[in-house]
Structure 1
């Protein structure tokens, strides 16, 4: 029975694989630009076949985008020169929905995010490199690279989407993975981790990522700017840039004082910051 079951499972896998190959072939027949580019970089085919037909459609859409560094050659070389798991990560990031307009997302940042998504040991390596709690790095990673969020795109409008790849985050994460952060970069990176961790915890506790209330857009810039009545986890989390104090948004836009609340250099007090933030702003 065991041998028969193994043969049956093998045949089922072969059938699934054959169906997937056919679906990719059908998509290539409908997307000549991708088929032409792929003919010049056959080593890229492995990741595309493994990912499935959605990879062809994602590549076809990206080929149409006019932005810095974006070209069929760039994408084919990135896939052809990457190990399979990294290639799958790149295609995963490429196929996602973003609230940002495509022209504003750099191709190199998408590839970097794909490699981060594919990484399996980055959390432990970063924890050892910069000396912060492992759960902080793990939650920040989940929030930044692996989770869809309800992102405001206008008054009373949100879109479920991933955070768009960001050049600074991609650069700092990759450097942290290889323990190659300079002192100032390490400080910047820790602030980003603190922001993402607290933001994620507050969203878990029920706050939106950012408010979509019309009042946050009722300003001369038309940008999403929080008010004392309408804000989200992004606005309450420690400010992501070291050029300003961690709780600068509280005091400049939300009419709240952070009192003696501080951000520990090793990020060991983030859970305390979460509970105090929730108490101050939500009254609990």
Structure 2
């Protein structure tokens, strides 16, 4: 994806405060974050959205854009959604004065100084969500995690699951793909991709397994379709809308704090 700058909510009246939000890509969850941000801003600022792919070959262009914009904005809100940023990207982010900087979703130890941040604690979030679902999960013999190898926060999610499983003497497996024998009766599954969720449900259909009885399913990240899919899919999810609101609140209040975003466990018929 080529980098592009898009003006957002040009009807906003206030020109006293200008904010640039930087996302690595757009999806349903980023839209929720953006909507929460704009809901809290409520016309108190002009907000622009910049989409940039954080690949090595784009580092120079990223630096050029931020340098050009550094005096045009009061705040820069970065959400990179990646586990690795090379030195060039970090150098650019560190060039933004900390009183203008806000980081979304994940803290980074290589960003210097005191800056504002709304973050997810991926390991603890998963552990606490599974703990809330403990009674339902322990009906099953094994807890499986199906997670993409390239998922940025895979290590932390897996560590949270392992901690829960070990504390409860529960067998667990980690899979990065789905094969015919991956989906088994009397086992529970934490699934971190929409594609893997669809494949799991198709496999259950083919094997005539009843979701919520023969097999337990917990999906990662809430979407409206999960309320009705297969009678309701149980979900663990950060509150994306609230993440956006928290970020806007930090900006409007001028606070340079690190806020852990709320994480949801929504119990439905699939568990």
TM-score (norm 1): 0.23
Q: Which has the higher strand share?
A: 2
The TM-score with structure 2 as length reference comes to: 0.24
Which has the greater radius of gyration?
1
